[in-house]
Amino acid sequence: MQIPYGEKEIKFSLPTSWNLLGVLSPRVTNKELDPYESVLKAVRNPIETKSLHSIAQGKGNAVIISDDKARPTPSDLIIPPLLHELNHAGISDEKITVVIGRGLHESLDEKELEKKLGKNVLERVDVLDHDPNKDLIYIGKTSQNVEIFINKNVVEADVKIGVGSVTPHELMGFTGGAGIVIPGVAGRQTINDNHSLVKTFKAEFGKVEDNLIRKDSEEAAKLLGLDLVVNATLDINERIVDIFAGDVVKAHLKAVESAKTIYGVPLNQKADVVIASSHPKDATFGKSMKAIFASSLAVKPNGVIIHVAPCWDGLSHSKIFKEMLLDNPGPKTLFKMLDKGQLPGESCVLYLFSVVKNIQRIIVVTDGIEKAVIEKIGLEYAKNLETAIRNTNKENADCIILPWGAVSLPLSGND
C-alpha cells in the first residue's frame, strides 16, 4: 500500500490478519469546461434569483467578496466574467471593489493576492482586505441572538456578490454559500458568537442538515442583502467541475450535492482502524485535523485513527489556537468556555477535536512535530507507519485507508 505524505509517498504493508475494507479516495474528473463561459452561463441563469445583469442594472457600485488563501477557490478565473457582466449592466471597473473575506485568518501578501485574484483583476479594480476588528456596521441580530457586524464597504455596496468553493468542513458542513459573510466579512465577536453555536448541535464534517452555524450565517447573509453567490465545485486537483450561482441557500445546496459526488466516498461499514493521510492539508496540525474529522466518520467507537501528517509548519499559524491545543482542554472545559463565550472563533473546532479524541485513540505519524508535543496535546506518537500499525495492538482488524483524508467525506447509504 502507499499514501501521500507531503510531496512524497509512504509505502507500507498491513498485517496479513487484517481485513482491508477499502481504499477510499475522492474522484478525479476528466471534465473540461471553459471557466469564463461557465460563470457567465451560471449568473445569467441563476438558481432562485434574478440574473446578475438584472440585479446590477441601474445600480451605482458593486462589491465582490472573495474567500482567501485558506480556500482553493480559483477567484482569478471566476471574477473576470463577473466584471464583464457588471460592466455590461452599467457598473464600471472604477465602481467595483473586491473584498477579501478572510474572517479571522491572516492577511494575504502581494504575491498571495496575485495568485488568488490574478494580475488582471488587481489592475482593474480596487482590492480591500477585510479587517474583523474595525470598519464594521451593525445590521441586526439573528434568531440565535448573534449580533451581526459586517464590513462597512460590503454593507454600503449597491450590489453584493459572494465568491467561494464548496468542500467538506467540520463546523459549517461545507464551505461556500453564506460562509462568505460569516466568517468571511464579519466582525471578530460576530464570528466568535456564530462559531460558539457548535455547543448546541452535533456538528460533523460534511453535515449541513440542522447545522446551526450555517443557518445563522445564512440569516446574516439575508439580513445583509447578499444578492448572489457564485460557488465552484472542484475535483481533488482543484480543477473546476461546476459553477453554481444564485440564492445564498438554494444555490449552495445544489453545489453541496455536486461536492458530495466528488468528495463523498462510500462507507459500507465502519472499521476498527482508519489510516488517513492529511493530504492535501499537510502544512500544520491544525489544517491536518480535517483528516481526523473525516476518519471519525469511518471508525468504530473506541477504534483507532492513524493520522499521517507531515506538519512541516508545526502545530498552527494561529498563536491562540496553538496555545489552546497545547493546554489540551477536555470536552467539558471547552463546553463551559463556549457557553460563556470565552472560546475564540478560530478555536471552536477544538471542541469537536476533544470529543473525537475522547472516543477514539489517535496515533500521529509525523516528522514535523516532536513526540513530546504530540503527547502534550493528548495523542499518541509513532515514528513511522509500521510502528503505528503495531501500536494499535490489534491482531485482527477491519481497516479503511483514506489517502486524501482531509478532503474525503465517508458517506453511508443514508447520507
Domain shared by 17 and 53, yes or no: no
| Nearest Cα residue to 368 out of 383, 378, 379 | 383
What residue has cell string 466518520?
297
What residue has cell string 513530546?
372
Domain shared by 13 and 75, yes or no: no
Domain shared by 272 and 194, yes or no: no
pLDDT of residue 201: 87
Domain shared by 67 and 207, yes or no: yes
Backbone angles phi, psi at 297, to 5 degrees: -80, -15
CA separation for the pair 314, 335 (Å, rounded): 26
Last residue of a domain, one of 200, 234, 262: 262
Positive or negative, the CA dihedral 96, 97, 98, 104 is negative
Q: What is the dihedral of CA 255, 256, 261, 263, to 10 degrees?
A: 120
Cell of 221: 447573509
Query: How many angstroms separate the Cα of 13 from the Cα of each of 160, 363, 388?
Result: 53, 17, 12
pLDDT of residue 415: 62
Q: Is residue 129 part of a domain?
A: yes
Q: Is residue 30 part of a domain?
A: no
- Full residue range of the structural domain in which residue 103 is found: 35-262
Strands 62-66 and 159-165: parallel
- One-letter amino acid identity for 397? A
Domain shared by 286 and 272, yes or no: yes
Q: Is residue 386 part of a domain?
A: yes
Q: Is residue 289 part of a domain?
A: yes
- Domain CATH number, residue 246: 3.40.50.11440
* Contact status, residue 202 vs residue 210, Cβ threshold 8 Å: no
CA separation for the pair 63, 97 (Å, rounded): 5
CA separation for the pair 108, 414 (Å, rounded): 40
284 by DSSP, 3-state: which?
A: coil
Last residue of a domain, one of 262, 281, 297: 262
Q: What is the layout of strands, in order, in the sheet containing 271-277?
A: 19-23, 398-402, 271-277, 299-308, 361-365, 380-382
Residue 354: how many CB atoms within 10 A of its CB? 18
Domain shared by 109 and 232, yes or no: yes
Last residue of a domain, one of 208, 232, 262: 262
Domain shared by 292 and 385, yes or no: yes
What residue has cell string 450535492?
257
- Domain CATH number, residue 383: 3.90.226.30
The continuous run of DSSP H or E covering 231 comes out as strand 228-234
Could you state, in chain order, the average pLDDT of each consecutive group of 10 residues for the chain (415 residues)? Answer: 93 96 89 91 98 97 95 95 98 98 90 95 96 96 97 98 96 96 95 90 91 97 98 91 97 97 94 96 94 96 96 91 89 84 76 89 96 96 96 95 96 74
Taken as a whole, the chain contains a residue count of 415
Q: How many domains does the chain have?
A: 2
Quote the DSSP letter at residue 29.
P
Q: Is residue 29 part of a domain?
A: no
Domain shared by 93 and 230, yes or no: yes
Quote the DSSP letter at residue 125.
S
Report angle CA 293, 297, 298 to the nearest 5 degrees.
120
pLDDT of residue 161: 98
Domain shared by 77 and 218, yes or no: yes
Residue 412: how many CB atoms within 10 A of its CB? 12
The continuous run of DSSP H or E covering 305 comes out as strand 299-308
pTM, whole model, 2 decimals? 0.92
Beta strand segments in 16-158, E: 19-23, 62-66, 96-100, 126-129, 136-141, 147-151
Domain shared by 45 and 18, yes or no: no
Domain shared by 86 and 70, yes or no: yes
Domain shared by 202 and 272, yes or no: no
Strands 96-100 and 126-129: parallel
Q: Is the peptide bond before 26 cis (omega within 30 degrees of 0)?
A: no
Q: Is residue 13 part of a domain?
A: yes
CA separation for the pair 235, 232 (Å, rounded): 10
Q: Is residue 237 part of a domain?
A: yes
Q: How many helices (H) and strands (E) does the chain have?
A: 15, 20
